[in-house]
């Protein structure tokens, strides 16, 4: 009689271990035209492939997580998406966690299909975690969140994005006085309750930009109680500094997974230089977030 397979370790626990080993950096793969050309490559499928595989070689086994930005692959159609799927597979084979930045969100049946596409057992573009948009209501994400829990994967729900325009929606107040961002954090806290009771990081994280200044405190977004990881874009190219990370995430620094794309990618195309820059930023962020 064959034994049942072991259930997968939850994403939150796997991320916690990876951050402890490599430092809390998520290196982005953002092959936008300017960057691809600055590496001396042509902005076509061949250039996209060279750029992406250079990143995979440099970041695999070197950082806690890698975040490909789906848009830069989708723009090349089916062949670009196939390349994205290959990069996700190669990073998994290298033992490196992937966060696919796709910002999906829709009514329940469609959220279910999005979940199967990226988080299901047989997902064609399987990632360890994906970004989700809660602006059709946090509850509409339920099928994808439940599937992530079942398959040991994770999600990062947009709460306070790094762009200034996000405030129009995310700073708004609900009838009960809570901010939209605060309510999303409360919903994530409920989904992370089990992990918290085991002393683990939850698998439902939030996206909170390192650029948001005092908004976390002003809007009553309770990040420590949320209990999941915080994907924090905005460091470097968008202007956030180490001091910003310390002040924005005070009280929740151990949950922060800082994300940086352009600031690291500018060190390419040499694989060793790219890896060295990623390691340098990972060490800087580890120093910032150390208690």
Which residues are known to be catalytic? 103
Q: Which stretch binds ligand LLZGTKA7 (CB under 6 A): 10-18, 37-45, 231-239, 266-274?
A: 231-239
By CB under 6 A, residue 238 contacts ligand LLZGTKA7: yes
From residue 279, alpha-carbon distances to 17, 26, 46, 165, 174 in Å are 17, 11, 27, 32, 42
The set of residues, in sequence order, having a beta carbon less than 8 Å from that of 94 and lying 6+ positions away, is: 56, 60, 61
Could you tell me the sign of the dihedral formed by the alpha carbons of 119, 124, 125, 131, in that order?
A: negative
Cis ω for the linkage preceding 222 (within 30 of 0) = no
Q: Are 52 and 75 in contact (CB under 8 A)?
A: no
Binds ligand LLZGTKA7 by CB under 6 A, chosen from 162, 170, 192, 255: 162
In this structure, the strands spanning 97-104 and 129-132 are parallel
- Between 99 and 147, CB nearer to ligand LLZGTKA7: 99
Q: Give the binding range for ligand LLZGTKA7 (CB under 6 A) out of 11-19, 90-98, 188-196, 235-243.
A: 235-243
Closest CB to ligand LLZGTKA7 among residues 195, 278: 278
CA 25 – CA 88 distance, rounded (Å): 17
Q: Does 52 bind ligand LLZGTKA7 (CB under 6 A)?
A: no
- In whole angstroms, the minimum distance from the beta carbon of 261 to ligand LLZGTKA7 comes to 3
Q: Is 5 helix (H, G, I), strand (E, B) or coil?
A: coil
Binding marks (x or -) toward ligand LLZGTKA7, 81..120, rule CB under 6 A? --------------------x-------------------
List interacting residues with ligand LLZGTKA7 (CB under 6 A).
Answer: 28, 30, 69, 101, 161-162, 207, 209, 233, 236-238, 259-263
């Amino acid at each position: 009689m064959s034994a049942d397979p072991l259930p997968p370790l939850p994403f939150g626990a796997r991320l916690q271990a990876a951050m402890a080993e490599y430092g809390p950096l998520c290196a982005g793969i953002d092959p936008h035209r300017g960057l691809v050309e600055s590496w001396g490559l042509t902005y076509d499928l061949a250039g996209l492939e060279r750029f992406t595989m250079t990143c995979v070689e440099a970041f695999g086994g070197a950082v806690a997580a890698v975040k490909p930005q789906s848009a830069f692959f989708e723009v090349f159609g089916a062949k670009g998406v196939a390349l994205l799927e290959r990069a996700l597979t190669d990073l998994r084979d290298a033992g490196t966690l992937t966060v696919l930045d796709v910002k999906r969100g829709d009514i329940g049946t469609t959220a279910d299909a999005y979940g199967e596409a990226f988080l299901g057992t047989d997902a064609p573009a399987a990632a360890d975690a994906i970004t989700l948009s809660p602006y059709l209501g946090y509850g509409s994400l339920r099928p994808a969140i439940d599937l992530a829990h079942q398959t040991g994967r994770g999600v990062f729900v947009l709460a306070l994005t790094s762009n200034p325009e996000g405030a129009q929606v995310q700073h708004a107040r609900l009838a009960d006085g809570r901010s939209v961002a605060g309510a999303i954090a409360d919903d994530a806290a409920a989904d992370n309750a089990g992990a918290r009771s085991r002393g683990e990081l939850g698998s439902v994280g939030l996206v909170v930009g390192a650029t948001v200044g005092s908004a976390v405190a002003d809007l009553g977004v309770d990040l420590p109680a949320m209990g999941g990881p915080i994907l924090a874009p905005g460091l470097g190219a968008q202007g956030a500094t180490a001091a910003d990370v310390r002040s924005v995430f005070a009280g929740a620094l151990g949950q922060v997974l800082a994300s940086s794309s352009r600031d690291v990618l500018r060190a390419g195309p040499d694989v060793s230089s790219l890896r060295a820059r990623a390691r340098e930023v990972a060490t800087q962020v580890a120093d910032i977030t150390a208690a």
